[in-house]
Amino acid sequence: MKARLNLQEYANGIAKGDRVVLAKAITLVESTLPVDRALADQLIEKILPRTGNSIRIGITGVPGVGKSTFIEAFGKHIIETHKKKLAILTVDPSSPLTKGSILGDKTRMEELSRNMMAFVRPSSSGEAVGGITHRTREAIHLCEAAGFEIIIVETVGVGQSEVAVKKSVDFFLLLMLAGAGDELQGIKKGIMEMADVVAITKADGENKNKANEARSEYQHALHLFRPDVSGWSPKVLTCSALLQEGMDAIWNTIVELQQLLQNQGLLEYRRNQQQVEWMHECFDQLLKQQFEQSASLQKKNKHLENEVLNRRTTPQQAAQSMLSDFIELLRTTKS
Ligand code: GDP
Protein backbone atom coordinates (compact mmCIF):
# COMPACT_ATOMS: atom_id res chain seq x y z
CA MET A 1 0.00 0.00 0.00
CA LYS A 2 1.29 3.48 -0.79
CA ALA A 3 2.55 5.64 2.05
CA ARG A 4 0.00 8.40 1.52
CA LEU A 5 -3.62 7.83 0.64
CA ASN A 6 -6.23 10.29 -0.50
CA LEU A 7 -9.08 11.46 1.68
CA GLN A 8 -11.57 8.91 0.40
CA GLU A 9 -9.10 6.04 0.76
CA TYR A 10 -8.41 6.97 4.37
CA ALA A 11 -12.11 7.38 5.13
CA ASN A 12 -13.13 4.11 3.46
CA GLY A 13 -10.35 2.12 5.10
CA ILE A 14 -11.25 3.47 8.50
CA ALA A 15 -14.96 2.79 7.99
CA LYS A 16 -14.04 -0.82 7.20
CA GLY A 17 -11.93 -1.05 10.36
CA ASP A 18 -8.77 -1.61 8.32
CA ARG A 19 -5.96 -1.46 10.88
CA VAL A 20 -3.24 -0.66 8.34
CA VAL A 21 -5.19 2.36 7.09
CA LEU A 22 -5.94 3.37 10.69
CA ALA A 23 -2.22 3.29 11.51
CA LYS A 24 -1.48 5.42 8.44
CA ALA A 25 -4.20 7.88 9.40
CA ILE A 26 -2.69 8.29 12.86
CA THR A 27 0.70 8.92 11.24
CA LEU A 28 -1.02 11.56 9.12
CA VAL A 29 -2.49 13.40 12.12
CA GLU A 30 0.89 13.26 13.87
CA SER A 31 2.62 14.87 10.91
CA THR A 32 3.64 18.50 11.17
CA LEU A 33 3.86 19.05 7.40
CA PRO A 34 1.28 21.66 6.33
CA VAL A 35 0.04 19.50 3.43
CA ASP A 36 -0.56 16.56 5.81
CA ARG A 37 -2.19 18.85 8.34
CA ALA A 38 -4.71 20.07 5.79
CA LEU A 39 -5.61 16.50 4.79
CA ALA A 40 -5.76 15.42 8.46
CA ASP A 41 -8.22 18.24 9.21
CA GLN A 42 -10.45 17.13 6.34
CA LEU A 43 -10.27 13.52 7.44
CA ILE A 44 -11.20 14.27 11.06
CA GLU A 45 -14.15 16.30 9.87
CA LYS A 46 -15.27 13.52 7.54
CA ILE A 47 -15.18 10.79 10.18
CA LEU A 48 -16.78 12.92 12.90
CA PRO A 49 -20.26 11.36 12.60
CA ARG A 50 -18.73 7.94 13.29
CA THR A 51 -17.01 9.02 16.50
CA GLY A 52 -18.00 9.08 20.16
CA ASN A 53 -19.13 5.48 20.59
CA SER A 54 -16.46 4.28 22.94
CA ILE A 55 -15.38 4.25 26.54
CA ARG A 56 -12.18 6.30 26.76
CA ILE A 57 -9.91 5.31 29.61
CA GLY A 58 -6.64 7.01 30.59
CA ILE A 59 -4.14 4.82 32.42
CA THR A 60 -1.08 6.16 34.18
CA GLY A 61 1.59 5.17 36.71
CA VAL A 62 5.32 5.55 37.22
CA PRO A 63 7.73 3.47 35.12
CA GLY A 64 7.94 -0.04 36.58
CA VAL A 65 4.50 0.03 38.22
CA GLY A 66 3.42 -2.56 35.67
CA LYS A 67 1.47 -0.56 33.11
CA SER A 68 2.20 -2.61 30.03
CA THR A 69 1.72 -5.92 31.86
CA PHE A 70 -1.53 -4.60 33.31
CA ILE A 71 -2.83 -3.40 29.95
CA GLU A 72 -2.04 -6.81 28.43
CA ALA A 73 -4.05 -8.54 31.17
CA PHE A 74 -6.85 -5.99 31.30
CA GLY A 75 -7.06 -5.88 27.51
CA LYS A 76 -7.25 -9.66 27.29
CA HIS A 77 -10.04 -9.60 29.85
CA ILE A 78 -12.00 -6.97 27.91
CA ILE A 79 -11.62 -8.86 24.65
CA GLU A 80 -12.26 -12.37 25.93
CA THR A 81 -14.95 -11.73 28.55
CA HIS A 82 -16.70 -8.68 27.19
CA LYS A 83 -16.00 -9.24 23.48
CA LYS A 84 -15.09 -5.61 22.91
CA LYS A 85 -12.67 -4.24 20.35
CA LEU A 86 -9.87 -2.40 22.06
CA ALA A 87 -7.42 0.28 20.93
CA ILE A 88 -4.39 1.27 22.99
CA LEU A 89 -2.62 4.55 22.36
CA THR A 90 0.49 5.32 24.33
CA VAL A 91 1.56 8.86 25.06
CA ASP A 92 5.18 9.31 26.00
CA PRO A 93 6.46 12.85 25.92
CA SER A 94 10.20 12.81 25.49
CA SER A 95 12.39 15.34 27.09
CA PRO A 96 13.53 17.79 24.40
CA LEU A 97 17.00 17.49 25.95
CA THR A 98 17.39 13.73 25.93
CA LYS A 99 14.82 12.77 23.30
CA GLY A 100 14.62 9.71 25.50
CA SER A 101 11.50 7.63 25.73
CA ILE A 102 10.34 6.75 29.24
CA LEU A 103 8.13 3.92 28.10
CA GLY A 104 11.15 2.31 26.48
CA ASP A 105 11.80 0.92 23.06
CA LYS A 106 11.15 -2.70 23.97
CA THR A 107 8.14 -4.24 22.32
CA ARG A 108 5.35 -3.70 24.76
CA MET A 109 2.03 -5.53 24.91
CA GLU A 110 3.18 -8.19 22.49
CA GLU A 111 0.16 -10.44 22.87
CA LEU A 112 -2.34 -7.65 22.32
CA SER A 113 -0.37 -6.44 19.32
CA ARG A 114 -1.04 -9.79 17.68
CA ASN A 115 -4.72 -9.94 18.67
CA MET A 116 -7.14 -9.08 15.86
CA MET A 117 -9.55 -7.47 18.35
CA ALA A 118 -6.85 -5.04 19.50
CA PHE A 119 -4.93 -2.17 17.99
CA VAL A 120 -1.77 -1.02 19.73
CA ARG A 121 -0.22 2.27 18.76
CA PRO A 122 2.95 3.52 20.46
CA SER A 123 3.44 7.27 20.54
CA SER A 124 5.64 8.88 17.96
CA SER A 125 9.10 9.57 19.30
CA GLY A 126 10.30 12.98 20.32
CA GLU A 127 6.78 14.19 20.97
CA ALA A 128 6.55 17.47 22.82
CA VAL A 129 3.91 17.88 25.51
CA GLY A 130 2.33 20.82 23.70
CA GLY A 131 0.85 18.85 20.84
CA ILE A 132 -0.19 15.78 22.82
CA THR A 133 -3.79 16.70 23.56
CA HIS A 134 -4.56 17.56 19.99
CA ARG A 135 -2.99 14.46 18.48
CA THR A 136 -4.35 12.16 21.16
CA ARG A 137 -7.88 13.41 20.63
CA GLU A 138 -7.57 12.96 16.89
CA ALA A 139 -6.17 9.45 17.29
CA ILE A 140 -9.06 8.58 19.65
CA HIS A 141 -11.55 9.81 17.07
CA LEU A 142 -9.90 7.78 14.31
CA CYS A 143 -9.97 4.61 16.45
CA GLU A 144 -13.64 5.16 17.26
CA ALA A 145 -14.49 5.65 13.61
CA ALA A 146 -12.68 2.37 12.90
CA GLY A 147 -15.04 0.60 15.30
CA PHE A 148 -12.97 0.33 18.46
CA GLU A 149 -15.27 0.33 21.48
CA ILE A 150 -12.76 0.75 24.26
CA ILE A 151 -9.89 3.19 23.92
CA ILE A 152 -7.07 3.07 26.43
CA VAL A 153 -4.65 5.99 26.48
CA GLU A 154 -1.53 5.07 28.41
CA THR A 155 0.77 7.72 29.78
CA VAL A 156 3.81 7.79 32.05
CA GLY A 157 2.74 9.26 35.34
CA VAL A 158 5.32 11.97 35.65
CA GLY A 159 3.45 15.19 35.10
CA GLN A 160 2.13 17.28 32.27
CA SER A 161 1.15 14.49 29.91
CA GLU A 162 -1.50 13.31 32.40
CA VAL A 163 -3.20 16.68 32.25
CA ALA A 164 -3.24 16.44 28.47
CA VAL A 165 -4.67 12.93 28.58
CA LYS A 166 -7.24 13.76 31.25
CA LYS A 167 -8.71 16.28 28.83
CA SER A 168 -9.21 13.56 26.23
CA VAL A 169 -10.71 10.67 28.22
CA ASP A 170 -13.83 9.80 30.24
CA PHE A 171 -12.10 8.01 33.11
CA PHE A 172 -8.68 8.02 34.63
CA LEU A 173 -7.11 4.92 36.16
CA LEU A 174 -4.00 5.37 38.26
CA LEU A 175 -1.74 2.38 38.92
CA MET A 176 0.25 2.41 42.16
CA LEU A 177 2.73 0.10 43.89
CA ALA A 178 2.37 -1.06 47.46
CA GLY A 179 5.09 -0.31 49.98
CA ALA A 180 7.43 1.36 47.57
CA GLY A 181 8.68 3.69 50.29
CA ASP A 182 7.73 7.19 49.33
CA GLU A 183 4.04 7.47 49.99
CA LEU A 184 3.10 8.93 46.66
CA GLN A 185 5.99 7.44 44.66
CA GLY A 186 6.71 10.61 42.84
CA ILE A 187 3.09 10.76 41.77
CA LYS A 188 2.11 14.33 42.27
CA LYS A 189 -0.93 15.07 44.35
CA GLY A 190 -2.58 16.62 41.30
CA ILE A 191 -2.42 13.30 39.50
CA MET A 192 -3.93 11.49 42.49
CA GLU A 193 -6.75 14.01 42.37
CA MET A 194 -7.41 13.27 38.72
CA ALA A 195 -7.89 9.54 39.33
CA ASP A 196 -11.38 8.02 39.21
CA VAL A 197 -10.04 4.59 40.07
CA VAL A 198 -6.72 3.62 41.70
CA ALA A 199 -5.39 0.08 41.31
CA ILE A 200 -2.58 -1.26 43.47
CA THR A 201 -0.59 -3.50 41.13
CA LYS A 202 1.36 -6.72 41.73
CA ALA A 203 -0.99 -7.93 44.49
CA ASP A 204 0.41 -11.45 44.42
CA GLY A 205 2.82 -13.69 46.36
CA GLU A 206 4.59 -11.95 49.22
CA ASN A 207 3.30 -8.63 48.03
CA LYS A 208 -0.37 -9.47 48.50
CA ASN A 209 -0.71 -8.35 52.13
CA LYS A 210 1.18 -5.16 51.50
CA ALA A 211 -1.10 -4.46 48.56
CA ASN A 212 -4.19 -4.85 50.73
CA GLU A 213 -2.73 -2.54 53.38
CA ALA A 214 -1.85 0.03 50.73
CA ARG A 215 -5.38 -0.23 49.40
CA SER A 216 -6.90 0.84 52.73
CA GLU A 217 -4.32 3.58 53.16
CA TYR A 218 -4.96 5.06 49.74
CA GLN A 219 -8.70 4.65 50.10
CA HIS A 220 -8.49 6.62 53.33
CA ALA A 221 -6.27 9.30 51.76
CA LEU A 222 -8.58 9.67 48.77
CA HIS A 223 -11.64 10.10 50.98
CA LEU A 224 -10.09 13.35 52.06
CA PHE A 225 -10.52 14.69 48.53
CA ARG A 226 -13.90 16.12 47.75
CA PRO A 227 -16.12 13.88 45.61
CA ASP A 228 -16.69 15.34 42.13
CA VAL A 229 -20.02 16.74 40.96
CA SER A 230 -21.35 13.26 40.19
CA GLY A 231 -20.91 12.27 43.83
CA TRP A 232 -18.22 9.75 42.86
CA SER A 233 -15.22 9.48 45.11
CA PRO A 234 -12.28 7.50 43.74
CA LYS A 235 -12.24 3.77 44.44
CA VAL A 236 -9.08 1.87 45.28
CA LEU A 237 -8.70 -1.75 44.19
CA THR A 238 -5.91 -4.31 44.03
CA CYS A 239 -4.92 -6.47 41.07
CA SER A 240 -2.33 -8.86 39.77
CA ALA A 241 -1.67 -8.80 36.07
CA LEU A 242 0.61 -11.80 36.52
CA LEU A 243 -2.23 -13.94 37.93
CA GLN A 244 -4.87 -12.15 35.84
CA GLU A 245 -6.70 -11.23 39.07
CA GLY A 246 -8.77 -8.16 39.85
CA MET A 247 -9.42 -7.29 36.21
CA ASP A 248 -13.17 -7.80 36.40
CA ALA A 249 -13.48 -5.66 39.53
CA ILE A 250 -11.66 -2.81 37.79
CA TRP A 251 -13.78 -3.19 34.67
CA ASN A 252 -16.99 -3.27 36.72
CA THR A 253 -15.96 -0.16 38.61
CA ILE A 254 -15.42 1.70 35.37
CA VAL A 255 -18.80 0.54 34.05
CA GLU A 256 -20.43 1.56 37.36
CA LEU A 257 -18.96 5.05 37.07
CA GLN A 258 -19.94 5.25 33.41
CA GLN A 259 -23.54 4.46 34.31
CA LEU A 260 -23.54 6.94 37.16
CA LEU A 261 -22.29 9.70 34.86
CA GLN A 262 -24.60 8.72 32.04
CA ASN A 263 -27.68 8.76 34.28
CA GLN A 264 -26.89 12.31 35.29
CA GLY A 265 -26.06 13.42 31.75
CA LEU A 266 -22.55 14.13 32.93
CA LEU A 267 -20.73 11.91 30.46
CA GLU A 268 -22.12 13.84 27.54
CA TYR A 269 -21.58 17.11 29.35
CA ARG A 270 -17.94 16.24 30.05
CA ARG A 271 -17.34 15.30 26.42
CA ASN A 272 -19.06 18.42 25.15
CA GLN A 273 -16.88 20.51 27.42
CA GLN A 274 -13.81 18.75 26.06
CA GLN A 275 -14.88 19.45 22.48
CA VAL A 276 -15.39 23.14 23.17
CA GLU A 277 -12.10 23.34 25.03
CA TRP A 278 -10.47 21.62 22.06
CA MET A 279 -11.88 24.28 19.75
CA HIS A 280 -10.40 27.04 21.90
CA GLU A 281 -7.04 25.30 22.04
CA CYS A 282 -7.03 24.96 18.25
CA PHE A 283 -7.83 28.64 17.90
CA ASP A 284 -4.95 29.60 20.23
CA GLN A 285 -2.64 27.38 18.25
CA LEU A 286 -3.73 28.83 14.91
CA LEU A 287 -3.22 32.36 16.18
CA LYS A 288 0.23 31.47 17.42
CA GLN A 289 1.13 29.84 14.11
CA GLN A 290 -0.01 32.88 12.14
CA PHE A 291 2.01 35.07 14.41
CA GLU A 292 5.12 32.93 14.13
CA GLN A 293 4.89 32.79 10.34
CA SER A 294 5.36 36.50 9.98
CA ALA A 295 9.04 37.45 9.72
CA SER A 296 8.35 41.11 10.45
CA LEU A 297 6.40 40.26 13.60
CA GLN A 298 9.15 37.93 14.74
CA LYS A 299 11.66 40.74 14.32
CA LYS A 300 9.45 43.09 16.29
CA ASN A 301 8.99 40.38 18.88
CA LYS A 302 12.76 40.11 19.40
CA HIS A 303 13.00 43.85 19.71
CA LEU A 304 10.24 43.93 22.34
CA GLU A 305 11.85 41.10 24.28
CA ASN A 306 14.97 43.26 24.52
CA GLU A 307 12.93 46.25 25.59
CA VAL A 308 11.40 44.17 28.39
CA LEU A 309 14.78 42.77 29.43
CA ASN A 310 16.26 46.27 29.58
CA ARG A 311 13.31 47.52 31.61
CA ARG A 312 12.34 50.02 28.94
CA THR A 313 8.81 48.71 28.78
CA THR A 314 6.58 46.40 30.81
CA PRO A 315 5.63 42.88 29.69
CA GLN A 316 2.01 44.01 29.56
CA GLN A 317 2.76 46.98 27.31
CA ALA A 318 5.01 44.91 25.08
CA ALA A 319 2.26 42.30 24.70
CA GLN A 320 -0.23 45.03 23.84
CA SER A 321 2.12 46.36 21.21
CA MET A 322 2.56 42.87 19.71
CA LEU A 323 -1.19 42.46 19.53
CA SER A 324 -1.62 45.82 17.78
CA ASP A 325 1.01 44.89 15.20
CA PHE A 326 -0.66 41.54 14.69
CA ILE A 327 -4.05 43.12 14.10
CA GLU A 328 -2.46 45.58 11.70
CA LEU A 329 -0.82 42.74 9.79
CA LEU A 330 -4.11 40.88 9.50
CA ARG A 331 -5.81 44.02 8.26
CA THR A 332 -3.18 44.71 5.58
CA THR A 333 -3.03 41.10 4.34
CA LYS A 334 -6.81 41.07 4.01
CA SER A 335 -7.06 44.22 1.93
P1 GDP B 1 5.73 -0.33 33.14
O2 GDP B 1 7.10 0.25 33.05
O3 GDP B 1 4.87 0.43 34.08
O4 GDP B 1 5.09 -0.56 31.81
O5 GDP B 1 5.90 -1.78 33.83
P6 GDP B 1 5.99 -3.25 33.22
O7 GDP B 1 4.65 -3.73 32.80
O8 GDP B 1 7.09 -3.29 32.21
O9 GDP B 1 6.38 -4.10 34.51
C10 GDP B 1 7.53 -3.82 35.29
C11 GDP B 1 7.95 -5.11 36.00
O12 GDP B 1 6.95 -5.51 36.93
C13 GDP B 1 8.18 -6.27 35.06
O14 GDP B 1 9.32 -6.97 35.47
C15 GDP B 1 6.93 -7.13 35.25
O16 GDP B 1 7.19 -8.51 35.02
C17 GDP B 1 6.58 -6.87 36.70
N18 GDP B 1 5.12 -7.03 36.91
C19 GDP B 1 4.16 -6.43 36.20
N20 GDP B 1 2.94 -6.82 36.64
C21 GDP B 1 3.14 -7.68 37.66
C22 GDP B 1 2.26 -8.41 38.54
O23 GDP B 1 1.02 -8.37 38.47
N24 GDP B 1 2.86 -9.18 39.51
C25 GDP B 1 4.21 -9.26 39.64
N26 GDP B 1 4.68 -10.02 40.62
N27 GDP B 1 5.05 -8.59 38.82
C28 GDP B 1 4.55 -7.82 37.84
Report how far apart, in Å, the C-alpha atoms of 243 and of each of 72, 210, 246, 247 are.
12, 17, 9, 10
Q: Is 155 in the pocket of ligand 1 (CB under 6 A)?
A: no
> Which atom of ligand 1 is nearest to 104's Cα?
2
- Our CA angle for 162, 163, 165, nearest 5°, is 60
- The one-character DSSP state at 11 is H
- Measured in Å, residue 64 CA sits from the centre of ligand 1 at 6
194 ligand 1 Cβ < 6 A: no
Which residue's alpha carbon is nearest to atom 5 within ligand 1? 66
Measured in angstroms, how far is the CA atom of residue 242 from the centroid of ligand 1?
Answer: 8
* Phi, psi dihedrals of residue 120, rounded to the nearest 5°: -110, 125
Instruction: Average the pLDDT over 148-153 and give the result.
Output: 96
How does pLDDT run across 223-247, given as a tens digit for each residue?
Answer: 777 777 888 888 999 999 999 999 9
What angle (nearest 5°) sits at the alpha carbon of residue 173, between those of residues 169 and 176? 150
Render pLDDT for 160-196 as a digit per residue (tens, 0 to 9). 677 778 888 999 999 998 876 555 555 667 777 888 9
- Given this model, what pLDDT does residue 221 score? 81
The residue whose CB lies within 8 Å of the most ligand 1 atoms, and thus the one to mutate among 60, 65, 69, 201, is: 69
Q: What is the pTM of this model?
A: 0.87
Q: So what's the pLDDT on residue 98?
A: 47
pLDDT of amino acid 180: 62
Atom in ligand 1 nearest the alpha carbon of residue 175: 3
Full set of structural domains in the chain with CATH: 1-50 (1.20.5.170), 52-264 (3.40.50.300), 276-334 (no CATH)
Task: Give the closest residue (by CA) to ligand 1 atom 28.
Answer: 202
Residue of 182 and 284 predicted with greater confidence = 284
What per-residue confidence (pLDDT) applies to 97?
47
